Amino acid sequence: MIDIQLIRDNPKIVQESISRRGLDIDINQILSLDKKRRELLTQLEQQRSQLKLSGKPTPAELAKLQKLKKIQEKIQEEYNVLDSEYHDILTQIPNLLADNTPDGGEENNKEERKWGKTEFSFTPKDHEGLNELHNLYNFEAGAKVAGAKFYFLGDKLVRLWQSIQLCAQDIIRAEGFELKSVPHLVNYEVADGTGYMPRGEENQNYIDTEQELVMIATSELPLTGYHKDDILNLDKPLMYAGISTCYRLEAGTYGKFSKGLYRTHQFEKLEMYIFCKPEDSSKSLQKILALEEKICKKLEIPYRVVRIAAGDMSAPAYEKYDLESYYPVEDDYREITSCSNCTDYQARNLNIRYRKEDGKLDFVHTLNGTAAVSSRMLISVLENHQQKDGTVKLPKVLEKYYGSRTL
């Protein structure tokens, strides 16, 4: 949630940020509600002060008190209706945008740099073709037990994924990240607070409406909620790495890189997460991005770094980068990991604060980034490391985890 004081002081800047994201929200509406809300709060305080009496009231005073109480109840009822509308609109207002964020939608995402490019002396296969050779995964069996786009990973890919995850864990733990296994379900408040519970057609979550629980799309959700209502000691940033299975409906996305393992309803992920002071968030984002690049280099996955445009960013994100892996069959790039600086947007929703040197409390900044993801990293390793005879020669860094250089 964006700071209402920021909207009051900089309405033009906030409105520009909304417009650049392609959203239709009128700042004047929230400012009008904010003004009426504050006026009603003042009236309520005045009514409460008039209701305070010392000693036993006389009949005349009691009659006056009853009249004042009815007026207060009416004002309170009006305030409750207005306050609900106010918060509903306020939570729809996205974060501000970092300087130099490209304008436009996905087509305007800006390439920052590239590393590597796989070239073959033969016609390479995609991961579906490699699956036919090696029986790596099974979507038919997954459909029998769960439905379309669910799957079983076979022995080789289970071991390969575990090897990739252990390699990534070693890299980020060396940089100070603390591993955490997280709940796979969060309550509505945490889902809302992190910005992962959009309404209507944009919803991509599996939701238990009876128990008001949401299956996580990323361990970013429970990791943010881990410090809900806490006051943190931030002598240095808190750095966690969540290990979890992730669940996404992926409704309406079929046909967009949907074949095979690339876009599925269930996958596993190792997620980096940082809580820090506002002055540390910019360098923390670059730290996460540098680690994502380091992991891809260790796995010998060619990639490019892309800065995400305003219209392609989620509401909590102030600044976001994607790493896109090179896919040799298509001779193209697709997202493999991403990282975002959400500044204090999520922390305000979930009341996560720290104490400054002057003793005052302020909201922390939160950042997230993918260290490793099962589905897409498996594709990248398979397709970029295949050999002419159809075998897959694994990156050298994985030999000690997998026990062999050949899949």
pLDDT at residue 290 is higher than 80 = yes
Q: Stretch 19-47: mean pLDDT, rounded?
A: 93
Sequence-distant (6+) residues with CB within 8 A of 94 are: 2, 17, 18, 21, 23, 313, 314, 315, 316
Q: Stretch 127-145: mean pLDDT, rounded?
A: 96
Q: What's the pLDDT score for residue 198?
A: 61
Q: What's the pLDDT score for residue 257?
A: 65
Number of other CB atoms surrounding residue 40 within 10 Å: 17
Q: What's the pLDDT score for residue 253?
A: 53
Cα(380)–Cα(330) distance, integer angstroms: 12
Q: Stretch 275-303: mean pLDDT, rounded?
A: 98
**Within the chain, which residue ranges are assigned CATH 3.30.930.10?**
106-402
Q: What's the pLDDT score for residue 232?
A: 97
Are 216 and 247 spatial neighbours (Cβ–Cβ below 8 Å)?
yes
Q: What's the pLDDT score for residue 337?
A: 97
Cα(234)–Cα(225) distance, integer angstroms: 17
Q: Which CATH code, of 1.20.58.410, 2.70.40.10, 1.10.287.40, 2.60.40.10, is assigned to 4-90?
A: 1.10.287.40
Q: Stretch 85-105: mean pLDDT, rounded?
A: 94
Q: Position 56: which residue type? A: K
Are 399 and 405 spatial neighbours (Cβ–Cβ below 8 Å)?
yes
Q: What's the pLDDT score for residue 338?
A: 97
pLDDT at residue 126 is higher than 70 = yes
Q: What's the pLDDT score for residue 38?
A: 95
pLDDT tens sequence across 317-333: 999 999 999 999 999 99
Q: Position 209: which residue type? A: T
pLDDT band at 56 (very low <50, low <70, confident <90, very high): confident
pLDDT at residue 200 is higher than 70 = no
CATH architecture assigned to 106-402:
2-Layer Sandwich (3.30)
Q: What's the pLDDT score for residue 54?
A: 65
**Within the chain, which residue ranges are assigned CATH 1.10.287.40?**
4-90
Q: What's the pLDDT score for residue 294?
A: 98
pLDDT band at 205 (very low <50, low <70, confident <90, very high): confident
Please state, rounded to an integer, the average pLDDT across all residues of the chain.
93
